[in-house]
Amino acid sequence: MELERPTLPEKPCPVCGKPVEPLRAREVLLLEDGFRFLCDAECRARFAEGERDHEASRSSPRVVAPIRKRAPTPAPPMPRRLASADRSAAYRALGAPEEPLPWVGLGAAMLGLLLGAFATHPAVAVVSAACVGVASAYALMRGWPTRREVGWLGWGMPSAGAVLAAIGALLARSPHDDARLWLVGAAIASGTVVLRAWLDARATRPVEEMVRLLAEKMPAAARVPQPSDEWSTEVAWDEVAAVRVRAGQEILAAEGEVVAVDGVVRAGEAYALLHPASQTPVRRVPGDPVLAGAFVTEGALRILATRVGDERALVRPRGFGKLHPGRTAALTRLVARLGPWGGLALVAGAAASALFAVSGGIATQLATAAAVLLAAPLLAIRRCSEAPYVAAGATAAERGIAFSSARALDRAGRTSVAAFCSHGVITEGEPEVVEIHSIGDAPWEPLVALAAGAEAAASHPIARAVIRFCERRRITPSVVRRAEFAPGRGVTAVTPSGEALVVGNRALLLEQGVSVAMADADAARAEERGHTVVFVGLDGRARAVISLRDEDRLGARAAVQRLMDLSIEVVLISGDHRGTVEALARTLDITHVKAELLPAECGATVTHLRETGGLVAAVGRPGYDDAALDAADVPVVLGAAGAVDGERGVASTGDDPRDAAAALWLARAARRAAWRGALVAAVGGGALLVLAATGIAVPAIAALVALGIDAYALPSASRLLRRIELRLPAQG
């Protein structure tokens, strides 16, 4: 009697959409929210890379395990991530409605100009001066928020200058001189004061709007799991305001939600869009970092908070223009400290200039003082020292690049040398065995089995590659004794028969008294092709050469080329043999290499590069390249944004070297924009002050030239945002 085979309803493969019977699926994955039944290993690999069949997901909805809650209190809506087709925050901020023209202030100034031009009667002159006062007061009201940034003197000096010019015009009236030209000049000065306040508001709006848009991506609430012995995502939880979460607490983030804090995954498994500009979901498992603003597309995570509140990477840049000990950019710190004294110095200079302007009486003295006050571009200098850093930090955060502070951003902008660690940065970091050459007539399988046995307890990439090779060839690793690991060189052990086994590079074999002369020719040929070579020495002789190929990482060449375009010298540091490193460097047009380095020696190499002059940036991975990163002026840590020790300078959410190059490009662009705008304002304003103090530049001329300086310097951050949108598209 033939038994009927049990069957279950078919489900579509989540990758290709083909129907798959659950009991006979070739590949099965167990995630936090249920099983996934896939066609074959190829679909599993595509699933791991984030590929999904949208029709399958719609036709076969998943059942997500509910998360128990203590009290059924209604929850505030959690913000959803913007669709990937939406524009970046910078693009939307630049396209926001512009600041409307201040018609009230301009109208008052224009009325004062018309009345002043026909002020043949004292009453008309007084009304014209009153209009100048109204326009100046309107400018003060429009610029009220700036008083906290530039101080009361910097905020009030331009308006005070226009009022002094009007008073001087009234005092210039005499039976023989109607001073209409003086009144017209005062009205022009008041109009420029209004326009300068409007230019400031217009220039700062895109940056403020971008910061606001990024802050809107943060959820208002977070789910905190209740104390429990169970360490999973399916626990009871309480909902609290996101601002109340503290570092060290845990939160839950399920499918369709935005992560509220920077942190490290403690439990669960999920796919998430790691930053607002990302379009490809990335798998997150315990131990992986994640940033606030990440959007969970599938699964659930339990996250240990590392940074909360204003320290979260996505909102941290809004504080880059403020004074924080040890965290402020050099230019911002200099301008902030000199700003109040500069205002006092200008007031004293205006008074001194008025005293020395003895010809023409009190009217000329007031006009000279007014010209000095109108010529001072204090607000433009302050804006240029702050806004570009805020703009660059915010656009970097949106792209998954986190600067720890404005000081780190400023230092990154001064980088002259970039040291790239090779494995996992320039290459994929997971080499594969491609060739095995046995020395003599001995078969290679037993030698590889011994090598796999010696490497079995190691966790470095070469050990994993040898073990994977044995698994594919169905070779059982041999059991060895007394395995001792030499970091960066290899492993020594003793075989079951008592023979000395050495698996590693040339230096280790020579140190153990094993000659590599017989194997050197095979090794040299492999190294010329850019392969990593591992020798297998047995009983004092080199018996085999294992060649491993670590594929070049996509985007490595583009990253190196971008840095070279910035005139940054690129150095490749590696523990591989010089021939292997030079072969890799040739494919990237890198001329400077440092090879055959132990992990500790990488730090000494970076220190030596610093001694040659200039700031050195090191690009590496946490846990693998810590020595080089700790020794660098600007550590750029790939795949560590959100980790406890990841953001030592610059960190990215992904492991793409193009993120490192983009970070250095952004930092340099921000620093140049800040210094260029501040220098133009300081030098141009200084020259104008000299002309005003000597009486050459009258109030109207001083005000118009100062308006031109502000028109160039104030929008420095807005111009930077436009440049970033053109040169660094927000996509991931």
CA distance 611 to 371: 49
Domain ends where: 313, 337, 359? Answer: 313
Tell me the residue ranges of DSSP E strands in 574-703.
592-594, 615-620, 634-637, 650-652
* Residues 124 and 269 grouped into a single domain: no
* Residue 394 belongs to some domain of the structure: no
Q: In this predicted structure, what is the pLDDT of residue 58?
A: 38
Q: Which of 342-346, 355-359, 387-391 has the lowest mean pLDDT?
A: 355-359
CATH of the domain at 485: 3.40.1110.10
Mean pLDDT along residues 351-378:
79
DSSP symbol at 62: P
Instruction: Residue 577: give its domain's CATH number.
Output: 3.40.50.1000
pLDDT above 60 (res 553): yes
How far apart are alpha carbons 650 and 641 in whole angstroms?
8
Residue 426 · residue 588 · CB < 8 Å: yes
Give the Cα separation of 251 and 305 in Å (integer).
Answer: 7
For residue 90, tell me if it sits in a domain: no
| Among 587, 619, 653, residue at a domain's last position | 653
191 and 338 co-located in one domain: yes
CATH number of the domain within which 301 lies: 2.70.150.10
Q: Are residues 710 and 673 in the same domain?
A: yes
- Cβ-count burial 281-294 (b if 16+ within 10 Å, e if not): bbebeeebbbbbbb
- Do 524 and 476 lie in a common domain? yes
Q: Are residues 587 and 449 in the same domain?
A: no
Structure tokens at 345: 């110095």
Average pLDDT (515-544) is: 86
Q: What would the pLDDT profile of 178-225 be if each residue is shown by its tens digit?
A: 578 888 989 999 999 999 999 999 999 999 999 999 998 899 999 998
In whole angstroms, how large is the CA radius of gyration of the chain?
34
Residue 78 has pLDDT above 50, yes or no: no
Is the pLDDT at 76 greater than 90, yes or no?
Answer: no
Sheet holding 500-504, edge to edge: 432-438, 541-549, 532-538, 500-504, 490-494, 481-486
- Among the ranges 171-175, 185-189, 232-236, 518-522, which has the highest mean pLDDT value? 185-189
Please tell me the distance from the alpha carbon of residue 330 to that of residue 332, in angstroms, as a whole number. Answer: 6
Claim to verify: residue 198 and residue 343 sit in the same structural domain: yes
Residues 643 and 687 in one domain: no
What is each CA distance from 439 to 220, 443, 517, 521, 523, in whole angstroms?
Answer: 66, 9, 11, 11, 11
Contacts of 207 (CB under 8 A, 6+ apart): 93, 387, 390, 391, 394, 717, 718, 721
Stretch 692-714: mean pLDDT, rounded? 91
Cβ neighbours, 10 Å, residue 529: 13
Domain CATH code at residue 27: 2.30.170.20
**pLDDT confidence of residue 118:** 85
Asked if the structure places residue 395 within a domain, the reply is no
Q: Cα–Cα distance between 136 and 157 in angstroms, integer?
A: 10
End residue of a domain, out of 313, 344, 373: 313
Q: Domain of 262?
A: 221-313
Angle, helices 361-375 vs 657-693, to 10°: value is: 170
DSSP 3-state percent helix, strand, coil across the chain (nearest 5): 50, 20, 35
Question: Which residues is 37 bridged to in the sheet?
Answer: 28
In sequence order, the β-bridge partners of residue 395 are none
Is 615 part of any domain?
A: yes
Give residue 147's pLDDT.
76
Q: Quickly list DSSP for 176-208.
A: TB--HHHHHHHHHHHHHHHHHHHHHHHHHHHHH
**Co-location of 381 and 437 in the same domain:** no
Q: 322, 286, 327, 280: which is closest to 303 by C-alpha?
A: 286
Render 452-483 in DSSP notation, one character per residue.
Answer: HHHHTT--SHHHHHHHHHHHHTTPPPPP-EEE
The pLDDT tens digits for 221-264 are 999 988 776 666 777 888 889 889 998 899 999 999 999 999 99
pLDDT band, residue 424 (cuts 50/70/90): confident
290 located within any domain: yes
User: Both 354 and 411 in a single domain?
Assistant: no
Nearest alpha-carbon partner for 10 in 64, 59, 65, 63: 59
With the CA atoms of 109, 114, 115 and 120 taken in that order, what torsion angle do they form, in degrees rounded to the nearest 10? 140
DSSP state of 426: I
Nearest partner of 223 among 310, 303, 321, judged by Cα: 303
Confidence of residue 90 (pLDDT cuts 50, 70, 90): confident
List the beta bridge partners of residue 436: 546
> Tell me, what's the pLDDT at 727?
82
Same domain, 209 and 324: yes
Task: Specify the number of domains making up the chain.
Answer: 5
Q: Is residue 375 part of a domain?
A: yes
Same domain, 325 and 209: yes
Q: Is 74 a member of any domain?
A: no
Query: Which pLDDT value is given to residue 486?
Result: 85
The closest of 149, 130, 128, 150 to 138, measured between CA atoms, is 130
Tell me how far apart the alpha carbons of residues 491 and 83 are, in angstroms, rounded to a whole number.
50
Does the pLDDT value for residue 633 go beyond 90? yes
In a domain, 396, yes or no: no
- 437 and 464 share a domain? yes
